[in-house]
Every structure is written in structure tokens, then in C-alpha cells.
């Protein structure tokens, strides 16, 4: 059974009198353990799709299943529970709590989980063994994103959602973050869906789903995904 499956998923946003159709019938299937990149231009609905998968946004019509759980039928309370149990989220701008240390940022997330991994070990895993007591303002963008990844992973999620996770980073730091994510996917089998507008990043994915104007276009399978270190950035 796929870990995630949508059928004719639609999302409209209403602002005042104006209704904007953002997702126009998305049929998506994600298999367990895949590293999938959703690639598309700005405004094509990628973040909206990811937020729906993560239970942050509601669905206008259509179906979305997490394994055999119908996400489209869930109300807010169930969506929060679904998200807490299964989903890790990494954003472009880290979203760390500024008044907490790196370790505390990760611990806060771990406390919400039924089966958390050790927060300190998670920070060591992302290469921040010597930064545990540092505050976000005292860390580089790359370090902050590593904390955010440790925070997402310490709840041991089955599905990790990443929205332009390297969008605010320089090339070298971005490559390191992508290496961390691909290695974690290979070692732990955690399913990863990453959305990006950067065509180069698509080369590291098992599968590339092209998004344009609220629907899926082409789908590419990469027989031999590149290691982030092999990409000509
Ligand atoms: P992408 O991530 O591919 O750049 P988004 O999913 O962020 O695309 O946005 C797709 C479209 O949906 C844009 O036109 C955006 O303005 C609109 N949109 C996104 N979120 C909202 C919202 N909360 N209210 C109204 N319109 C929104
Ligand atoms: Mg976006």
C-alpha cells in the first residue's frame, strides 16, 4: 500500500469575493521510502499541496489517504493528531523558537511525540554536537536549518515534508543539508517529499513530479539519483 495517495484533490482559496483555484485535481501516489521532489515554478501550488499533505491546510474536494486513513474526512482535531503522529515538517525559514537553545528547540518537539528519538543525539546526527546550547540568533542559516531538521526528525516521523529547505542557504550549505536529508532517507527509510523550484535539486530524487498551475504534469523516475555532492550547482 502506498504511504500517501490523492485522487482529484482540489483546493480553492477565497479572499473577499474572489475564489482562486490553486489545486485543480491532483492525482498523486507516494510509495513508502521514496525520496520524491515536487518541482514547479513559484505560484504553482507546491506549498499548498505540502501543507495539505501535512494536515496544515484543509481540502476543498477530492480524496487524500495516508495509508488507509482518509485525511479528507478529518476535522481539525484529527488533523492535529495525524500531523503529530506521522509528519515532520522542514520550512525554508527554519521557524525556530528564538528564546530557546538548539537543544530546547528539539526537545519541545520530542515532548509532543509518543516515541521520540533522543534530542541530543539527533543534534549530534546533524553535525551540531558542539552547538546544543547555542541560540538561533547565534547560528548560521545552515546551522539553524540543521536544528530544524533535527527537530522534525526527533519525533521519528514516517513522512518528512520539506518546503524549499535550501531556499535561503548558499550553495555549499544547501548541498550539506541535502546530503543530510538523502542519507537519512537511505539509512532510515523515512519517506521524504521535498518541494522546490530549483531544477538542479531534482537530480537527487528517486522520482520527480512536475507541478504546473495546480496539476501534475510529467513524472520522471531517476534510475541513478545523484549524490548532492555530484550535482553541478
Ligand atoms: P508555490 O509554493 O508553488 O509557490 P503556493 O502553494 O504557495 O505556490 O501558492 C499557490 C497560489 O495560491 C498562489 O497564487 C498564492 O497566492 C495562493 N495562495 C496560497 N496560500 C493562500 C492563502 N492562504 N490565501 C489565498 N491565496 C493563497
Ligand atoms: Mg512555496
- pLDDT score of 39: 98
Stretch 174-200: mean pLDDT = 96
Confidence of residue 54 (pLDDT cuts 50, 70, 90): very high
Which ligand ends up closest to the CA of 19?
Answer: 1
> How does pLDDT run across 86-99, given as a tens digit for each residue?
999 999 999 999 99
Residue 120 binned pLDDT confidence (cut-offs 50, 70, 90): very high
What's the confidence (pLDDT) of residue 35? 98
- Give the ligand whose atoms come closest to the C-alpha of residue 58: 1
Q: What percent of the chain has pLDDT over 90?
A: 98
User: Span 42-63, mean pLDDT?
Assistant: 97
Separation of CA 165 and ligand 2 centre (Å): 11
- Look at residue 76 in the predicted model and tell me its pLDDT: 93
pLDDT band at 177 (very low <50, low <70, confident <90, very high): very high
State how many domains the chain has.
1
Q: List pocket residues of ligand 1, CB cut-off 6 Å.
A: 13, 15, 20, 22, 40, 42-48
State the chain's mean pLDDT as an integer: 96
**What ligand has the least distance to the C-alpha of 42?**
1
Note the pLDDT of residue 154: 95
Give pLDDT, residue 68. 96
Question: What is the pLDDT, as a whole number, of residue 57?
Answer: 95
pLDDT at 140: 96
pLDDT band at 204 (very low <50, low <70, confident <90, very high): very high
SS3 labels along the chain = CCCEEEEEEEEEEEECCEEEEEEEEEEEEECCCCEEEEECCCCCCHHHHHHHHCCCCCCCEEEEEECCEEHHHCCHHHHHHHHHHHEEEECCCCCCCCCCCHHHHHHHHHHCCCCCCCHHHHHHHCCCHHHCCCCHHHCCHHHHHHHHHHHHHCCCCCEEEEECCCCCCCHHHHHHHHHHHHHHHHHHCCEEEEEECCHHHHHHCCEEEEEECCEEEEEEECCCCCCHHHCCC
For ligand 1, atom 14: residue with the closest CA: 43
User: How much distance in Å is there from the Cα of 95 to the middle of ligand 2?
Assistant: 15
Give mean pLDDT, residues 127-153. Answer: 96
C-alpha 48 to ligand 1 mean position (Å): 6
CATH number, domain at 147?
A: 3.40.50.300
pLDDT of residue 207: 98
Expressed as residue numbers, the domain containing 95 is: 4-230
User: Separation of 57 CA from ligand 1 center, angstroms?
Assistant: 11
Amino acid at each position: 500500500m502506498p504511504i500517501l495517495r490523492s485522487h482529484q484533490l482540489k483546493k480553492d482559496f477565497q479572499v473577499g469575493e474572489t475564489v482562486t483555484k490553486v489545486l485543480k485535481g491532483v492525482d498523486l501516489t507516494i510509495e513508502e521510502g521514496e525520496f520524491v521532489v515536487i518541482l514547479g515554478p513559484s505560484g504553482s501550488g507546491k506549498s499548498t499541496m505540502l501543507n495539505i499533505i501535512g494536515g496544515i491546510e484543509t481540502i476543498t474536494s477530492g480524496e487524500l489517504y495516508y495509508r488507509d486513513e482518509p485525511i479528507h474526512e478529518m476535522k481539525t482535531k484529527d488533523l492535529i493528531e495525524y500531523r503529530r503522529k506521522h509528519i515532520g515538517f522542514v520550512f525554508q525559514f527554519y521557524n525556530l523558537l528564538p528564546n530557546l537553545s538548539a537543544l530546547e528547540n528539539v526537545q519541545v518537539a520530542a515532548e509532543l511525540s509518543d516515541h521520540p528519538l533522543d534530542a541530543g543525539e539527533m543534534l549530534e546526527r546533524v553535525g551540531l554536537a558542539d552547538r546544543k546550547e547555542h541560540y538561533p540568533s547565534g547560528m548560521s542559516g545552515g546551522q539553524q536549518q540543521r536544528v530544524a531538521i533535527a527537530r522534525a526528525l526527533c519525533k521519528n516521523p514516517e513522512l518528512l515534508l520539506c518546503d524549499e529547505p535550501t531556499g535561503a542557504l548558499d550553495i555549499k550549505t544547501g548541498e550539506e543539508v541535502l546530503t543530510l536529508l538523502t542519507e537519512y532517507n537511505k539509512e532510515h527509510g523515512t519517506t521524504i517529499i521535498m518541494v522546490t523550484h530549483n531544477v538542479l535539486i531534482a537530480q537527487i530524487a528517486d522520482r520527480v513530479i512536475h507541478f504546473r498551475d495546480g496539476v501534475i504534469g510529467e513524472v520522471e523516475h531517476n534510475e541513478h539519483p545523484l549524490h548532492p555532492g555530484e550535482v553541478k550547482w
